[in-house]
Amino acid sequence: MGFLRCVLGVILVVSLVLSVHGDPLVPALCILGDSVVDVGNNNNLQTLIKANFPPYGRDFVTHKPTGRFCNGKLATDFTAEYLGFTSYPPAYLSQEAKGKNILNGVNFASAASGYFDRTAQLYRAVTLTQQLSYYKEWQSKVVSLVGKDKANAIFSGGIHLISAGSSDFIQNYYINPMLNRAYSPDQFSDILLKSYYTLVQNLYDLGVRRIGVTTLPPTGCLPAAITLFGSGSNQCVSRLNQDAVSFNNKLNNTSRNLKSKLPGLKLVVFDIYNPLLELISKPTDNGFFESRRACCGTGTIETSFLCNARSVGTCSNATQYVFWDGFHPSESANEKLAQSLLEQGFDLIS
């Protein structure tokens, strides 16, 4: 761990030096996925799954809600900073994703999306299939802005992050008898991983060579999951965590298979499960006070429209909380997770 922290320190110093001169470590950062990385695409959709109202965003740079499911920055915002970018990839469906603003990458993520397209369709979110279509549109726009050769260098040199799977289980599989009676968690994982395999293959065919994918978190420890599936206990739901571990093992195996079949592909599986479990299991050791309850409202279930300015009990200092709402980490937790991502992602920037 000491060596990794040394590497992290070196990378941070290099990225800070480079960012001063306006040169990030990679030409672009593109993001696909769900609410963990959505920066406002759902603001522009006819969906209930939004976060463009207070108290979301109260600790962000602007102190205003942006559509991020957090009190402040997401882990990917910190990642963009560590890579030397001076701005965050804009939401593709926003007015900010125009002209030269898109050259350093964009964010296609949509809250409630997942590897299983029907999950997104249930909540009127942008499916991963549609996100890939938007990605192709973005590529065409970049080509028209800088020409084919420079565009191809951006596509191959840029980092592409994928965050998905949690919504498929928590917002669909576990509450949908049509799915959980037809498939075991193991079988459902196989369906999701086929979608993941296809997505990576499609990105590779489009010239992408640097991809990072996050594992599932300890889904059984999310405050809302404990409330919904914990049978009255305030402890992590072991069967949900077991499903997440099983999925993550398959994700690693599938990723190894992809790397062996796709020449030149740099593919890193980012372990979110263990770093987040560490924060949850040992909050005080990591600078937190509370890891069972979230900051917003009662801290047991509120997320999206249930986490609002009228929510009774919302904490005054979210830095003491691992979770901001029932499903999503606080900015302070996101910063620690981003540091872990940087330690694990050295291969993507080397």
Distance CA 32, CA 38 (A): 8
State the CB neighbour count (10 A cutoff) for residue 77. 25
Structure tokens at 286: 């990591």
CB under 8 Å to 275, separation ≥6 — which residues? 336, 337, 340
| DSSP structural state of residue 79 | H
Pull the structure tokens for residue 106. Answer: 């964009």
Strand order in the sheet with 210-214: 29-33, 159-163, 210-214, 266-270
Task: Enumerate long-range contacts of 145-148, CB under 8 Å, 24 or more apart.
Answer: 145/99, 145/100, 145/102, 145/103, 146/103
Count Cβ atoms below 10 Å from residue 19 Cβ, excluding itself: 17
CA separation for the pair 110, 206 (Å, rounded): 21
Q: Known catalytic residue: 21?
A: no
**Is 34 an active-site residue?**
no
In the set 15, 35, 189, 255, the catalytic residue is 35
What is the residue type of 340?
S
Nearest partner of 173 among 239, 233, 223, judged by Cα: 239
- Spatial distance between the Cα atoms of 46 and 111, rounded to a whole number of angstroms: 12
67: phi then psi, degrees, rounded to nearest 5:
110, -10
| Alpha-carbon torsion, ordered 80, 83, 87, 89, to 10 deg | -50
Catalytic residue among 34, 304, 325, 332: 325
Task: Catalytic residue, from 59, 113, 167, 328: name it.
Answer: 328
Q: Are strands 210-214 and 159-163 parallel, antiparallel or unpaired?
A: parallel
Q: Is 35 a catalytic residue?
A: yes
Return the DSSP state at 89.
Answer: P
Active site residues: 35, 325, 328
